[in-house]
Amino acid sequence: MRITFGTTAIIIALVIFYFWDPIKSFFDEHPPVNEAVTKTESGSNQPVQPKAPQQKGGEKVDPFKEFK
């Protein structure tokens, strides 16, 4: 069983090594699509505000205080 998996892994590695240029050119032509980019292009241009800890009287609140 281990010989089968090992042989398969070696064959896959050799195929990737042999066809590296076509594989690289394919991924260069088709970049991955980022979900954040597609959402902003679809028309929802609402600014995302970062979640900051609430402040009491000008003092910063420790967000990890409840975990201590």
Please give the model's pTM, rounded to 2 decimal places: 0.40
Residue 7 has a pLDDT of: 95
Domain assignments of the chain as residue spans, ordered by start: 1-30
Interval 22-58: pLDDT, tens? 999 998 888 888 766 655 555 555 666 666 656 666 6
SS3 of the chain: helix, strand, coil, percent, to 5: 55, 5, 40
